[in-house]
Amino acid sequence: MEQITIGFAVCGSFCTHARAVRALEELHAAYGQIVPIVSETTAATDTRFGRAHDLMREMERICGRRVIDTIAKAEPIGPGKLLDVLVICPCTGNTLAKLAAGITDTAVTMAAKAHLRNGKPVVVALATNDALAGSAKNIGALLDKKNLYFVPFRQDDPVGKPTSLVADFDLVAQTVAAALEGRQVQPLLLPPPAK
């Protein structure tokens, strides 16, 4: 097993949390050392997709350590050079916009800022209904950002949700491996699901 430390940050795309937990398990099996992180919205919101408490306990069970859930707890990632790669999975339109604008007001955006200052890779698994609308300019800005890599994504429902894009969570581990080598996995744009 490679001695790599991964930050795994979960944002409030609640319908994708089950897929994110599977990706977390896959990364844990491959790399072992994972630091779990959640946005404040994720930590505080129960939805029809599950309870916040249950998600965080599951992340802590897999990783064997407590979740980082505040800006103060995320800040040491920078000076301590704690991570080799940070994965944001899922990444909401909200967090995407903050990353593009340089806003740091959540545990996840603090983790990203702290980690990027060390010149290390960030991997984004986006999931947002407005990706081809309001979030499009932010995706464009981040495609052009150094050390930022995207998990390949697709229109998940081109007819029903024509502006939605969702990463293929089965490709998270592959994207992390490539990002650690300074490569973007290709193709970045995947075909929509077969009907």
Ligand X SMILES: Cc1cc2nc3c(=O)[nH]c(=O)nc-3n(C[C@H](O)[C@H](O)[C@H](O)COP(=O)(O)O)c2cc1C
Task: Tell me: does residue 128 bind ligand X (CB under 6 A).
Answer: yes
Q: Closest CB to ligand X among 33 and 39? A: 39
Closest listed residue to residue 126, CA positions, set 171, 60, 81, 74: 171
Three-class secondary structure assignment of 22-45:
HHHHHHHHHHEEEEEEECHHHHHC
Question: Which position's Cβ is nearest ligand X?
Answer: 12
For residue 39, state whether it binds ligand X (rule: CB under 6 A): yes
d(CA 163, CA 160): 9
Taking the CA atoms of 24, 27, 32 and 34 in sequence, report the sign of the dihedral they define: negative
Q: Which of residues 108-127 bind ligand X (CB under 6 A)?
A: 108, 127
Chosen residue from 20, 56, 83, 92 binding ligand X by CB under 6 A: 92
CA dihedral for 5, 93, 16, 52, sign (positive or negative): positive
- Residue closer to ligand X, measured from CB, 32 or 50: 50
Measured in degrees and rounded to the nearest 5, phi and psi for residue 4 equal: -125, 140
- C-beta of 107: minimal distance to ligand X in Å? 8
Q: Please, how many CA atoms are within 13 Å of residue 30, restricted to the half-sphere of its CB?
A: 13
Q: Which range binds ligand X by CB under 6 A, 5-13, 63-71, 171-179, 181-189?
A: 5-13
| Three-class DSSP category at 165 | strand
Write down the least CB distance from residue 39 to ligand X, Å: 3
Q: Is 36 in the site for ligand X (CB under 6 A)?
A: no
Q: Which stretch binds ligand X (CB under 6 A): 6-14, 27-35, 57-65, 152-160?
A: 6-14
For binding to ligand X (CB under 6 A), which residues are involved? Answer: 11-15, 39, 41-42, 47, 92-95, 106, 108, 127-128
